[in-house]
Structure 1
Amino acid sequence: MNITETTAFETFYRTYRAYGLSIAYRMLGTYTDAEDIVQDVFAELAAKDPAVIQNMKSYIAKAVTNRCLNLLRSAKKTREEYIGEWLPEPIAASTDLPELAAEQKDTLSYAYLLMLERLGPMERAVFLLREVFEYDYAQIADMTGKTEANCRKIFSRAKQQFKGSEPPASPVDDEQRKAAVERFADAFLHYDPKMLLGLLAEDAMLISDGGGVARTAIRPIFSRDRIMRLLVSQKAYRDMRIWDTRITELNGETAIVFTSGHEVKAAFCFRFTESGDRLQHLYMIKNPHKLLHLRV
């Protein structure tokens, strides 16, 4: 590379790195893998003549999507053998993903990422490229190697799977949600069953991810009574109560992180009820490999 080519490459990297990460993170649900994918794409791009690439943004989208598809297919067995429930890696508000402050923020929510987990790799790719990144079917066909007609069918099938399960739009504003999460943290830290019962929906669900490394419930816990009894147990989460607790933003939403020194040890993400005043789903991430990248 000469000086001119190096300058052009650096410009492309600064311009499109975050865009590539936005696609890869939603595709994979793991920020560390998303970073690796994007680095690989730009490493390959460094050996190319940028002049032969007609649309750099579409080139990045296609390259990232195909690498993600390959990774998801190869990781299928690993996911199936995963110990306990698999949850996405949460990302902090400081993460270099521009949509955290834009209108696509909802598509980075933790509940949205979990909905995407229902889809197979190709369904996920087509759905995201169409629904979130607004490519037309001809472009998606070129990126995925499918026909336009097939892409339409795949998108329709993926959309059908989401029917009725989208994170609800809530009449409660962010400040009220933050206050509810703060009350939850206080109730959890102080073994307060009465406050917990008032915060949890009747059919609440708690999903934990320890990855076989950290001690967590292997299967989801259903009903607010069972969740409350578990959360106020002096044995179950004794370690979390001695760590520092911080209310912060993960995936653009109010969450709780537990830290020891500079290390994030656990995180709680939430999905609220449609009314916005109760916690419907609680997601607890304790797998240390999914918390390494967090900057809070």
Structure 2
Amino acid sequence: MIEPTEIESIYRTYRSYALSIAYRMLGTFTDAEDVVQDLFAELANKDMTEILNMKSYIAKSVTNRCLNLMHSAKKTREEYVGEWLPEPVSGTALLPELAAEQKDTLSYAYLLMLERLGPVERAVFLLREVFEYEYHQIAEMTGKTEANCRKIFSRSKQQLKAAEMPAISYESGQRRAMIERFADAFQHYDAKELLRLLAEDAVLISDGGGASRTATRPIVSRERLLRLFTSPKAYRDLRTWKACLIEINGEINIVYMSRNEVQAVLCFRFTASGDRLQYLYMIKNPAKLKFMQSSLHQTNLGNEE
């Protein structure tokens, strides 16, 4: 059995790396934490002489645990009430091993793009595209042949390209200014400003998980969103909550707070030109806001009113 001090050292060194794989695989940080905790609990009873490369071993173990979880959770996802959206996380401090050029792979739009892939496709794509493993390593991790992994990656790349990759990230000050304008226009029923901000084919996707009242289907077109956002009957709760602009999944988005509690998160995807809001993602499912709540309290933002 491994010494407690050794497992603690391994945990400190590789926890965030394991989380970065699990979160991108699952789209839920709560489940990702469970996967990582189980992995390190198992490591505590493992013969370390059997592990030649700890980083690769962790990548393989996390990937396979995630694949098992994704397959077992398929029915639950199919029975989910309304639209399913990834769980948002605040900032990128939780994943400090990320290089600046990899930050986009944590964005909310990127996570949604990954939802178009099946479990194995997602694993192969992430291990190659984000974590830069060689094909022979990915084959060993996933139980596929090297040739098969090459085909899976190529097919996944083409599939995501056809689905339109997320627009490039724009300078944070520009993004913040746009979202501040939206928040102010929404708060004051400013139809003219909303008209300037929303793309003609803008889409609102909401996730309440059956626990919070939201639209169960996407709302499409600027005209429909304008009617919704300027209606005195719609989103009355959001207008009573405090809108906080913070970094979520590496980009500025909005967290709505009330009595020090996170009530909703609103994430944005811009048009390719960067001057309009293309997609709006509203997360109100309480189960997907728990981690956001705890992490904001740690930064004291959750204690502001």
Partner AA of 2:141 in structure 1: M
Deviation of 1:262 (Å): 2.3
Deviation string, structure 1 residues 180-225 (Cα, Å, up to 9, x no partner): 0001001111111111111001111110101111111111011111
Q: Give 3-state SS (helix, strand or coil) of 2:291's partner.
A: coil
What TM-score results when the alignment is normalised by the length of structure 2?
A: 0.93
Structure 1 residues 225 and 100, CA, compared in 2 at 3 Å: closer, same or farther? Answer: farther
What TM-score results when the alignment is normalised by the length of structure 1?
A: 0.96
Per the alignment, residue 169 of structure 1 pairs with 168
Cα root mean square deviation, aligned: 1.3
Moved more, 194-203 or 159-168: 159-168
Per the alignment, residue 180 of structure 2 pairs with 182
Per the alignment, residue 106 of structure 2 pairs with 108
Moved more, 25-34 or 188-197: 188-197
Structure 1 residues 99 and 118, CA, compared in 2 at 3 Å: closer, same or farther? Answer: farther
| 5+ residue gaps, structure 1 | none
Per the alignment, residue 149 of structure 2 pairs with 151
Deviation string, structure 1 residues 238-292 (Cα, Å, up to 9, x no partner): 1111111101110001100001122111010000011111101000001111001
Distance 2:260 2:72 in 1: 33
Q: Contact 1:100 / 1:251 at 8 angstroms: preserved in 2?
A: no
Distance 1:255 1:211 in 2: 21
Distance 2:99 2:149 in 1: 30
What is the aligned-residue identity percentage?
71
Deviation string, structure 1 residues 137-171 (Cα, Å, up to 9, x no partner): 1111111111111111111111111114111225x
Out of 74, 77, 80, the position equivalent to 2:75 is: 77
Q: Contact 2:92 / 2:250 at 8 angstroms: preserved in 1?
A: no
Per the alignment, residue 242 of structure 1 pairs with 240
Partner AA of 2:282 in structure 1: M
Distance 2:14 2:233 in 1: 47
| 5+ residue gaps, structure 2 | 297-305
Deviation of 1:98 (Å): 1.6
Deviation of 1:94 (Å): 5.8
Deviation of 1:90 (Å): 0.5
Aligned pairs (5 A) from 1:50-129: 50-93=48-91, 95-98=93-96, 102-129=100-127
Runs of 4 or more off by more than 6 Å in structure 1? Answer: none
Q: Give 3-state SS (helix, strand or coil) of 1:139's partner.
A: helix
Structure 1 residues 289 and 6, CA, compared in 2 at 3 Å: closer, same or farther? Answer: same
